[in-house]
Amino acid sequence: MSGIFRFSAHLNARLPRATLALLPKLFGLRLRQIIRLGRWVYIVVPMAASVGALVALFLTSLDAATRLRFAHPSLIYAMPFAGFAMVWCYQRFGHTAEAGNNLIVEEIHQPGGGVPLRMAPFILVSTVLTHLVGGSAGREGTAVQLGGSLASTFARLFRLSAPEIRILLMAGIAAGFGAVFGTPIAGAVFALEVLAIGRMQYEALLPALLAAIIADWTCQALGITHTHYAIAAVSGVTGDASSGLTFAPLLMLKVAVAGVVFGLAAHAFAELSHRASGAFKTLIAYPPLRPVVASLILLGLVYLAGTRAYLGLGVWSPDPDDATILGFFRPDHIDSVSWAWKALFTIVTLSSGFKGGEVTPLFFIGAGLGSALAGLFGAPVDLFAGIGFVAVFAGATNTPLACLIMGIELFGATHAVYLAIACFLAYLCSGHSSIYLAQRIAVPKSASGVPFAPDMSIRHIRAGKRPAVAETPPVAAGE
């Protein structure tokens, strides 16, 4: 005990009084941060577990609907009736839930009426129905909306402030994205990166990562497994492939050219999607009729293409001759046109009012385009399918870091350099376009010749307007 007193006297003698006076404040700040982080754990864990459970239910239902459609091909002829009923229900009972992912992004930028809980059952049922009848859609939009609606509900339950709501909504996006693809780190980064081009939302860093991990663990605990993709070792590469240290200048050049093409494809997909949506709204005033007309177009496209491979997710098919995402990774398989067909089917489906997401179709488009470019360049097919898989997604959502991390989580770190080159170039070459109209421009991609002010949304840019409100100042999760 006397030793402690002697050490205290020695410390008092050596440290200035001003420093001693700051110690209680310093430790008090750290204590408040620890308490605040503990509060986030208390809120985020049950929210993320709930999102993971709902995503597991969604994926199970989606798989059952897909298998049922393969077993009963005539279900696609119910597409007009399903589309009409779906949009009618959204118009009659969905209210603001109709806005989908854009509503969640807008609520993060400027908290207002909140994300309604009804969004969760609406998007879950409507997406499963879309796939049951053969709509070409994905699943990321559904998972993000499940996460956003539950996060908003928990925010109301815990009476969170507006800055805290922003953080919890980002955590909800991370939970949904991480669980639906089995990529929790990419899910966390996606939630921080997708809101604004050129700016990361670091205030939600720990809550988003925690939410993505918990949701993914919950999903796995409930028996969900994810599709495994593999890229074989690249021939002609100098270095140790097992350590990820590889170098092939010619191959790197081919990847760079492919990255530019992926970015242009992403830009074209986003712009054509918005134009098609506008055309449906202009030509067909009554919303429930839009998916009816789109269904007739899709059924016509099925017969024109001579295959049903471009309906549904496109990840796998019982018919080995169908174009699928898994098929694009076969080294002996080169497909030159499937990516374009899938883009057309998806644009018609989602722009008319059917529900789902764009990301899995973007995986198909990217992998298929990568396969086509591999045949053109004489490059490894599986490698180009893999980099196209993530690079087109990076360009269409303006999330190059999240897509790079997703590529590493899905394919391993061996080809990280090629993934990075493709994702970053696709991001730059996709321009200021996005599949999410509520996404904002924080830092323009080009330092010169930019005709708009920062913090404009993609929607405002397309309409030629300036933003009416400023973004809510962020608050760090640990402060």
- Report the interhelical angle of 140-157 vs 17-71 (nearest 10°): 130
Residues of the chain whose pLDDT is less than 50?
4-5, 7-9, 11, 15, 20, 235-245, 466-479
pLDDT for residue 80: 97
* CA–CA gap between residue 369 and residue 356 (Å, rounded): 22
DSSP per residue over 385-397, as a string? HHHHHHHHHHHHH
Q: Which residues of 375-386 are buried (b: 16+ CB within 10 A; e: fewer)?
A: eebebbbbbbbb
* CA–CA gap between residue 159 and residue 137 (Å, rounded): 35
pLDDT for residue 267: 97
Q: Does residue 234 contact residue 398 with C-beta atoms inside 8 Å? A: no
Q: For residue 142, give the nearest of 129, 156, 157 by alpha carbon.
A: 129
Per DSSP bridges, beta strands 196-197 and 440-441 are: parallel
Q: What angle do CA 415, 421, 426 make, to 5 degrees?
A: 125
What pTM was estimated for this model as a whole?
Answer: 0.89
* CA–CA gap between residue 232 and residue 249 (Å, rounded): 19
* CA–CA gap between residue 294 and residue 313 (Å, rounded): 17
- Report the interhelical angle of 338-351 vs 289-305 (nearest 10°): 170
Q: Does residue 387 contact residue 407 with C-beta atoms inside 8 Å? A: yes
